[in-house]
């Protein structure tokens, strides 16, 4: 887009129309005239004052934020009018559709085609058929207004016999009388390090110092530029070196725009020597450069997550089945490919859409296949059974061994497995096949719990993580063996209650606790009844002192290792105010929002070190808590939270935001119970969050009561963000939770629940070369003042603590795809704030706000 701003022109009285004697005929330039206005008043949705006029290649904007800010000086309460002509390639009925944030309308040849001048967002509108003749130019006008928050706009058409696609730049022409000689496109090339500027006319060789008159905004970030050179292959083009790579994708069709501004003072000229005027042009991102963490290079078929995956139920003998598997897309109703080699290779356990998988595309249905051998010394069939385990598969799976179905499962976040002994065949080589169906948010799907995964990711929604995404392993077990342990600490009673699950009643069981090498106690009994293990004068677990006991459990001849922490967590009144209380003392929960996504592994961290890294950074920055946002992590993540000392707010992964069906509700509740049952033994887990911002909400009070009945030892938060987005507070549970951006907010006190700010902040900062191809910053900040801006919001958290606040969750620990509001970049290579200053301030806040009477509050 070319924008001739008042600040560029130097005088507000000048008309903001490009003036360039070298301008080609408007009919030769593909694009539209764009006029950018501020509104006469907030919420007026009118065209108050013209701020800039310029050139736009098309109307396909994943975000308009940088353009609005540069053109008008503000992001909200602005309007745009595009005019020009549209020239179809085909004759016949065309359907037009538009979707955006916020209102829009479309005219063709002066006739209204779409009118959605409404303050909402992401509601697609489709026209009636419009008869057009190939090659004829029709007048076109599009209007748009932005009220508050993010902004985007997309104009698409369905040509006769075609499918719905964005209207291409080639279909647009400038309006009569609008001269333009600037770049008609600015394209990031495949290497990710070159920006190509295309002109309608031939251009002279670039003069020295031209780069000093160019600015590039890519993904919302000012991009460092290098040398400008003539394109030897095209006299109508220039190339600009990019000093940091622009992230794209494997196919080179990443969503996102590159915008380039030229101030008109760099002596750029056409081949005829006539000066090229100031412009701001944009174009697509064709980069195939992909963002990776430093751990990705350590990953290969022979070391894909080699650690034992279940720290609270360990066995000495086991075999990891991660690594290279065969892979193929599947169709509904297809029979398993028994004995048939599949055409592709996938690295398990990385989601099929991830870089590390080697596939890097979504499939609704898929087959995995590999062979394996069973170690002879396991003596399977001679007193031992063979157990096959899956950490998690998203979402519905069927498992076959040597052609026999041994398991089927629904649920994308919980463990499952099967005894496969009877499916083994004579000989050493066995065949394992896994079929997976993952509808994600497909309109005809089952609406499973999916968290932030979307088939069309943008903004706050991310790339799906389908298929096997946690470790697959097998282990020899006794006929009577523990499938899981329920571990419940009782601090006042100085004991640990142990329940062995997945085994018949009446089997002898013995549990022994150790503190380091010192034996603490042993207790015995039989399965089917809880076992009380004394822990006298317990060393309590806390975020400051995350002390863990080792546990050994024998079930008949089965022996497993485990661990536990002694601690209590509750909401109790302190001086008449409901407070979060850890081990009988008030505790202020200072957390980040942790989405748990990775640019190379998506849901799956590339290595165990990477999995622990984000939690270590929480500790380094002075956080004592982490909110795991609508995702359930692998067991080893909880192990690291237990070991490092972080209090976990565990969200239930949300369904889609639509009203869920009866079947979807039943599945939601089943998966929520699995989440609670599987992770209730972790001392780090401090609360269960049953809904977020109303997404997929129903029976809010009943669901909170269900969670409390399944685990009465922890607080329940029935709705994080009860003040947001149509959420309905169930009115029960232990926590009342409000969201605020950028400033934190608290709900109104009810005298029963502890008050928290479940999300706040969202300060956005794009770091060139370390950001995803699609960006959205909630609140853009200056890099020079980033830490100061963060600490200013933290001061607001402190003020809320003085008003009864018990915790706050900063959004967020890392950038994630389209969101740039992380304290770390998405690739975890850059830490944005001053860590020492952040840690000192947050440790002081946690210390002061964890007193029975909050310290540091103004006198009242």
Residue 24: pLDDT band with limits 50, 70, 90: low
Average pLDDT value for residue range 58-70: 85
Residue 639: pLDDT band with limits 50, 70, 90: very high
User: Quick one: which H or E segment has residue 369?
Assistant: strand 365-373
- Whether residue 22 has pLDDT greater than 60: no
Instruction: Give Cβ neighbours of residue 216 (< 8 Å, ≥ 6 apart).
Output: 186, 195, 222, 223, 225, 240, 242, 258, 259, 260, 261
| Tokens standing for residue 227 | 């040398």
The predicted-structure confidence for 424-445, as pLDDT tens digits, reads as follows: 998 889 999 999 999 999 988 8
| Tokens standing for residue 797 | 């958290």
Do 484-564 and 569-849 come out as alike in CATH topology? no
Domain limits, the chain = 1-24+181-283, 26-179, 314-478, 484-564, 569-849
| Tokens standing for residue 39 | 């509104």
Contact 456, 154 (CB under 8 A): no
Contact 825, 814 (CB under 8 A): yes
Residue 360's closest CA among 258, 254, 444, 451? 254
Residue 109's closest CA among 143, 132, 79? 132
Question: What is the per-residue pLDDT for 663?
Answer: 95
The predicted-structure confidence for 479-509, as pLDDT tens digits, reads as follows: 999 999 999 999 999 999 999 999 999 999 9
Tell whether omega for the bond before 449 is within 30 degrees of 0, i.e. cis: no
- Whether residue 347 has pLDDT greater than 50: yes
| CATH C-level class of 26-179 | alpha beta
- Whether residue 796 has pLDDT greater than 80: yes
Q: Per CATH, the architecture of 569-849 is what?
A: Alpha-Beta Barrel (3.20)
Instruction: Let me know if 523 is exposed, middle or buried by CB neighbors in 10 A (0-12, 13-18, 19+).
Output: middle
CATH code of the domain occupying 1-24+181-283: 2.60.40.1220
Please tell me the distance from the alpha carbon of residue 451 to that of residue 468, in angstroms, as a whole number.
Answer: 17
- Alpha-carbon distance values, 678 to 99, 483, 549, 634 (Å): 42, 11, 19, 10
Chain mean position to CA 334: 32
Q: Per CATH, the architecture of 484-564 is what?
A: Sandwich (2.60)
The predicted-structure confidence for 539-589, as pLDDT tens digits, reads as follows: 999 999 999 999 999 999 999 999 999 999 999 999 999 999 999 999 999
Please tell me the distance from the alpha carbon of residue 401 to that of residue 409, in angstroms, as a whole number.
Answer: 15
The predicted-structure confidence for 448-474, as pLDDT tens digits, reads as follows: 999 999 988 877 889 999 999 999 999
- Alpha-carbon distance values, 48 to 69, 198, 295, 698, 725 (Å): 16, 33, 52, 43, 29
The predicted-structure confidence for 674-703, as pLDDT tens digits, reads as follows: 999 999 999 999 999 999 999 999 999 999
Please tell me the distance from the alpha carbon of residue 191 to that of residue 525, in angstroms, as a whole number.
Answer: 66
The predicted-structure confidence for 728-787, as pLDDT tens digits, reads as follows: 999 999 999 999 999 999 999 999 999 999 999 999 898 999 988 765 555 678 889 999
| Tokens standing for residue 162 | 């075609």
Query: Across-strand partners of 621?
Result: none
Please tell me the distance from the alpha carbon of residue 70 to that of residue 64, in angstroms, as a whole number.
Answer: 10
- Whether residue 7 has pLDDT greater than 50: no
Topology of domain 314-478, CATH: Jelly Rolls (2.60.120)
- Whether residue 419 has pLDDT greater than 50: yes
Percent of the chain scored above 90 by pLDDT? 86
DSSP state of 155: E
Planar angle of CA 697, 700, 702, nearest 5 degrees: 135
Instruction: Give Cβ neighbours of residue 738 (< 8 Å, ≥ 6 apart).
Output: 721, 722, 723, 724, 745, 746, 747, 755, 756, 757, 758
SS3 category, 416:
strand
Cα four-point dihedral sign 249, 251, 252, 256: negative
Question: What is the per-residue pLDDT for 212?
Answer: 97
Residue 9: pLDDT band with limits 50, 70, 90: very low
């Amino acid at each position: 887009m070319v924008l001739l701003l008042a600040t560029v022109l130097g005088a507000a009285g000048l008309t903001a129309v490009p003036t360039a004697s070298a301008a080609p005929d408007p009919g030769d330039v593909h694009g539209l005239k764009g006029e950018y206005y501020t509104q006469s008043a907030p919420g007026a949705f009118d065209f108050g004052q013209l701020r800039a006029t310029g050139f736009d290649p098309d109307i396909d904007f994943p975000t308009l934020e940088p353009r609005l800010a540069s053109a008008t000086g503000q992001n909200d309460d602005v309007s745009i009018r595009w005019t020009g002509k549209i020239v179809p390639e085909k004759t016949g009925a065309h359907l037009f559709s538009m979707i955006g944030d916020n209102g829009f309308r479309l005219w063709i040849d002066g006739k209204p085609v779409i009118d959605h001048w409404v303050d909402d967002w992401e509601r697609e509108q489709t026209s009636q058929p419009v008869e057009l003749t190939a090659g004829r130019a029709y007048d076109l006008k599009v209007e748009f207004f932005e009220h508050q928050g993010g902004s985007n706009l997309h104009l698409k058409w369905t040509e006769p016999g075609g499918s719905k696609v964005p209207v291409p730049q080639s279909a647009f022409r400038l309006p009569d009388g609008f001269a333009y000689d600037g770049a008609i496109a600015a394209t990031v090339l495949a290497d990710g390090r070159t920006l190509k500027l295309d002109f309608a006319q031939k251009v002279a060789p670039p003069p020295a110092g031209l780069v000093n008159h160019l600015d590039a905004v890519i993904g919302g970030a000012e991009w460092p530029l290098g040398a400008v050179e003539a394109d030897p292959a095209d006299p109508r083009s220039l190339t600009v070196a990019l000093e940091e790579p622009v992230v794209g994708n494997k196919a080179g069709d990443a969503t996102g725009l590159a915008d380039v501004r030229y101030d008109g003072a760099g002596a750029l000229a056409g081949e005829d020597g006539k000066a090229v005027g100031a412009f701001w042009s944009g174009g697509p991102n064709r980069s195939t450069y992909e963002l990776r963490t430093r751990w990705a290079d350590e990953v290969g078929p022979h070391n894909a997550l080699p650690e034992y995956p279940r720290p609270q139920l360990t066995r000495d003998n086991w075999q990891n089945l991660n690594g290279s598997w065969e892979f193929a897309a599947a169709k509904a109703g297809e029979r398993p490919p028994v004995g048939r080699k599949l055409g592709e290779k996938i690295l398990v356990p990385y989601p099929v859409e991830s870089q590390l998988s080697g596939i890097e595309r979504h499939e609704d249905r898929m087959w995995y296949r590999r062979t394996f051998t069973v170690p002879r010394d396991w003596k399977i069939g001679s007193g031992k059974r063979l157990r096959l385990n899956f950490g998690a598969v998203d979402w519905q799976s069927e498992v076959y061994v040597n052609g026999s179905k041994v398991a089927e499962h629904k649920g994308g976040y919980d463990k499952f497995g099967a005894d496969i002994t009877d499916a083994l065949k004579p000989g050493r080589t066995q065949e394992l096949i896994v079929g997976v169906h993952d509808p994600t948010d497909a309109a005809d799907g089952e609406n499973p719990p999916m968290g932030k995964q979307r088939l069309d990711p943008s903004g706050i929604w991310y790339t799906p993580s389908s298929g096997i995404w946690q470790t697959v392993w097998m282990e020899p077990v006794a006929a009577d063996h523990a499938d899981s342990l329920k571990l419940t600490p009782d601090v006042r009673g100085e004991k640990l209650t142990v329940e062995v699950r997945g085994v018949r009643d009446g089997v002898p069981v013995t549990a022994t606790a150790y503190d380091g090498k010192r034996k603490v106690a042993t207790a015995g009994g039989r399965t089917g009844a809880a076992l009380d293990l004394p822990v006298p004068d317990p060393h309590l677990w806390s975020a400051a002192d995350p002390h863990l006991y080792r546990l050994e459990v024998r079930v008949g001849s089965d022996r497993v290792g485990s661990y536990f922490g002694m601690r209590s967590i509750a909401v109790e009144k302190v001086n008449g105010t409901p407070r979060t209380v850890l081990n009988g003392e008030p505790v202020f929960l200072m957390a980040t929002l942790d989405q748990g996504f990775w640019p190379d592994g998506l849901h799956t961290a590339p290595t165990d070190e990477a999995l622990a890294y984000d939690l270590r950074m929480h500790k380094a920055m002075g956080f004592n808590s982490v909110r795991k946002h609508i995702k359930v992590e692998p067991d080893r993540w909880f192990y690291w939270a237990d070991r490092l000392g972080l209090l976990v707010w565990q969200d239930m992964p949300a369904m889609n935001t639509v009203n869920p069906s009866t079947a979807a509700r039943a599945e939601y509740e089943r998966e929520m119970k699995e989440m609670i049952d599987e992770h209730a033994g972790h001392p780090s887990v401090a609360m269960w969050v049953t809904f977020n911002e109303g997404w997929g909400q129903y029976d809010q009070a009943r669901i909170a009561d269900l969670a409390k009945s399944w685990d009465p030892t922890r607080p329940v938060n029935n709705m994080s963000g009860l003040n947001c987005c149509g959420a309905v507070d169930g009115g029960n549970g232990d926590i009342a939770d409000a969201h605020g951006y950028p400033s934190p907010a608290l709900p109104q006190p009810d005298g029963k629940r502890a008050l928290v700010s479940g999300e706040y902040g969202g300060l956005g900062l794009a770091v060139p070369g370390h950001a995803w191809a699609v960006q959205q910053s909630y609140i853009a900040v200056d890099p020079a003042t980033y830490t100061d801006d963060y600490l200013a919001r933290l001061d607001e958290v402190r003020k809320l603590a003085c008003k009864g606040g018990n915790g706050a969750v900063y959004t967020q620990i890392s950038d994630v795809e389209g969101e740039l509001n992380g304290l770390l970049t998405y690739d975890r290579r850059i830490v944005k704030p001053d860590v020492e200053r952040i840690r000192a301030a947050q440790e002081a806040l946690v210390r002061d706000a964890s007193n029975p009477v909050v310290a540091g509050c103004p006198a009242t």
